[in-house]
């Protein structure tokens, strides 16, 4: 072990990590009064750290690599095997450009527009429904939206099953037992499905339009000029589809925030687009989604007198950094106006990771998330009125990922 670091004496913290969830790192940061400490997780020494400076170090590609970091349980549910999340160097940057080229501002607008259209369609159904569950509606709508946008054929009868599989993949990585295995089966089904679609595009059985995510993934050329094999192309196309559906989680938390902080909702009713944006930023800062991100030390280095030995796994606490009291005044208060003073740093507000997405592993989908959320928030605030029936809106910080238990039920929905 690293003598200069406080370390957790437990034989292994894997269970504590699952039990304490989002607060695992923060609890120990408080206990050791140190933003960096060492623990044993899944039989390995792991350095855990949080904060803006820690994020800056973590996103230095000279210091860290991803190869060999993501455990099987994560690759076989959330990411897919050998996907972009596990790549390094030039090969990573080359593949990342493909993702960036699919998630441009104009494509963000297109996705937002489709999202708006689908919420309006849903409203016709909702007006006659006794109650709806927002999370369920959002995951189905976003699955429909993303497939339409990407050029992936999807029959109406398939929507719910495909949506459930995307959600299962996302909700499996931090779980043990049935929920975890459900995620693995969901991934297998999705990969079979998307491999078939890619094959059909490559053989000309299915027409695909240049510029769509489907076409660009199917015909993407690696630096050596070869195409991705069908499996890899499917994994990476799923890496575009699934996380857009993941916005269902933030949408549910946004609705919860509208309910929990009524005065903020009232401000939005007459507010500007900037107010909407600040509210969404605060939802992404305040509520738990991505807990932490992992990488391996690439070469020995020393930082703040701590030694980082080649091959050591390091966790950067995203949730903890977003609640770091040195960065956020009263971090456990929901206050969108705090973003009026935000300095825009690439390392202090990191629900999607840190750094420049084109140069490292930060999420390329932050712009899409913002635009899809904005379209949705406008709809929830300005287009409809609704009641919130009695339900269990609690969410647990010791499950990763988490969600309000009821999924946010709404009733008596009517147009404004
Ligand atoms: C990576 C969060 C939405 C595509 C990531 C990472 C985080 C994250 C934390 C890892 C950063 C790292 O490894 O250092 C989120 C959250 C989202 C979201 C909270 C909200 C729903 C999206 C969307 C897309 C997307 C909408 C695309 C359509 C990706 C891809 C990566 C990634 C491809 C891998 C990037 C790489 O390894 O270079 N995301 N994301 N995400 N995200 Fe997102």
Ligand 1 center to 115 CA (angstroms): 19
Catalogue the E-assigned strands of 35-184. 36-41, 44-49, 64-65, 131-133
Ligand 1 center to 363 CA (angstroms): 4
Which residues contact residue 248 at a Cβ distance below 8 angstroms, ignoring those fewer than 6 apart? 135, 138, 139, 142, 167
Average pLDDT score, the chain = 96
User: Does the pLDDT at position 9 exceed 70?
Assistant: no
For residue 35, what pLDDT is reported?
Answer: 95
Ligand 1 center to 94 CA (angstroms): 17
CB 412 within 8 A of CB 257: no
Q: How far is CA 395 from CA 18, 162, 251, in A?
A: 15, 25, 14
268 confidence band (pLDDT: 50, 70, 90): very high
Ligand 1 center to 5 CA (angstroms): 30
Ligand 1 center to 293 CA (angstroms): 11
Supply the residue whose CA is at minimum distance from atom 25 of ligand 1: 365
For residue 135, what pLDDT is reported?
Answer: 98
Supply the residue whose CA is at minimum distance from atom 8 of ligand 1: 352
Supply the residue whose CA is at minimum distance from atom 29 of ligand 1: 363
User: Does the pLDDT at position 1 exceed 60?
Assistant: no
Q: Which of 363, 364, 402 to mutate to test the pocket of ligand 1 (most atoms within 8 A of CB)?
A: 363
Q: Which atom of ligand 1 is nearest to the CA of 99?
A: 33
Token pair of 219 as six digits: 């015909």
User: Does the pLDDT at position 7 exceed 80?
Assistant: no
- Which tens digit of pLDDT belongs to each residue from 180-189? 999 999 999 9
Q: How far is CA 72 from the centre of its chain?
A: 19
- Which tens digit of pLDDT belongs to each residue from 53-76? 999 999 999 999 999 999 899 999
Prediction ipTM score: 0.98
For residue 18, what pLDDT is reported?
Answer: 80
Ligand 1 binding site (Cβ under 6 Å of any ligand atom): 84-85, 96, 99, 103, 239-240, 243-244, 246-247, 250, 289-290, 293, 351-353, 361-365, 368-369
For residue 68, what pLDDT is reported?
Answer: 94
In whole angstroms, give the CA distance from residue 135 to residue 253: 9
Q: Which of 114, 365, 400 to mutate to test the pocket of ligand 1 (most atoms within 8 A of CB)?
A: 365
Q: Which residues pair with 415 in a beta bridge?
A: 384
- Which tens digit of pLDDT belongs to each residue from 285-310? 999 999 999 999 999 999 988 999 99
Ligand 1 center to 98 CA (angstroms): 14
Q: Which of 84, 166, 169, 243 to mutate to test the pocket of ligand 1 (most atoms within 8 A of CB)?
A: 243
279 confidence band (pLDDT: 50, 70, 90): very high
Q: Residue holding tokens 């670091």? A: 5
User: Does the pLDDT at position 334 exceed 60?
Assistant: yes
What is the per-residue burial (b if ≥16 Cβ within 10 Å, else e) of 175-196?
beeeebebbbebbebbbebbbe
């Amino acid at each position: 072990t690293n003598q200069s670091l406080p370390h957790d004496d437990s034989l292994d913290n894997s269970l504590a990590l699952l039990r304490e969830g989002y607060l695992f790192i923060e609890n120990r940061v408080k206990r050791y009064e140190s933003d960096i400490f060492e623990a044993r997780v899944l039989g390995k020494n792991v350095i855990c750290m949080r904060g803006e400076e820690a994020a800056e170090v973590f996103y230095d590609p000279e210091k860290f690599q991803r190869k060999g970091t993501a455990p099987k349980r994560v690759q076989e549910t959330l990411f897919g095997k050998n996907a972009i999340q596990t790549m390094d160097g030039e090969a990573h940057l080359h593949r990342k450009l493909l993702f960036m080229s699919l998630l441009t501002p104009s494509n963000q607008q297109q996705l937002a527009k489709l999202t708006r259209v689908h919420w309006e369609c849903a409203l016709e159904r909702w007006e006659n429904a006794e109650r709806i569950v927002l999370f369920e509606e959002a995951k189905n709508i976003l699955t429909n939206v993303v497939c339409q946008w990407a050029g992936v054929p999807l029959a109406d009868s398939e929507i719910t099953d495909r949506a459930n599989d995307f959600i299962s993949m996302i909700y499996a990585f931090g779980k043990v037992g049935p929920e975890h295995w459900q995620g693995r089966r969901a991934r297998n089904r999705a990969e079979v499905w998307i491999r078939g679609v890619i094959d059909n595009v490559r053989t000309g059985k299915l027409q695909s339009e240049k510029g769509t995510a489907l076409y660009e993934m199917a015909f993407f050329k690696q630096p050596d000029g070869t195409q991705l094999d069908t499996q890899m192309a499917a994994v990476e196309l799923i890496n575009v589809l699934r996380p857009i559906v993941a916005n269902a989680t933030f949408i549910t938390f946004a609705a919860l925030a509208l309910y929990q902080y009524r005065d903020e909702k009232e401000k939005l009713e007459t507010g500007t687009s900037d107010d909407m944006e600040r509210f969404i930023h605060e939802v992404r800062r305040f509520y738990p989604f991505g807990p932490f991100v992992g990488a391996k030390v690439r070469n020995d280095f020393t930082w703040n007198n701590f030694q980082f030995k080649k091959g050591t796994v390091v966790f950067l606490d995203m949730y903890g950094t977003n609640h770091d009291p040195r960065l956020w005044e009263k971090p456990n208060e929901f206050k969108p106006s705090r973003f009026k003073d935000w300095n825009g740093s690439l390392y202090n507000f990191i629900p999607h990771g840190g750094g420049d997405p084109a140069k490292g592993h930060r999420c390329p989908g932050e712009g899409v998330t913002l635009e899809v959320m904005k379209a949705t928030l406008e709809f929830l605030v300005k287009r409809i009125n609704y009641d919130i029936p009695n339900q269990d809106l609690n969410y647990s910080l010791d499950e990763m990922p988490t969600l309000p238990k009821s999924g946010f039920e709404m009733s008596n929905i009517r147009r404004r």
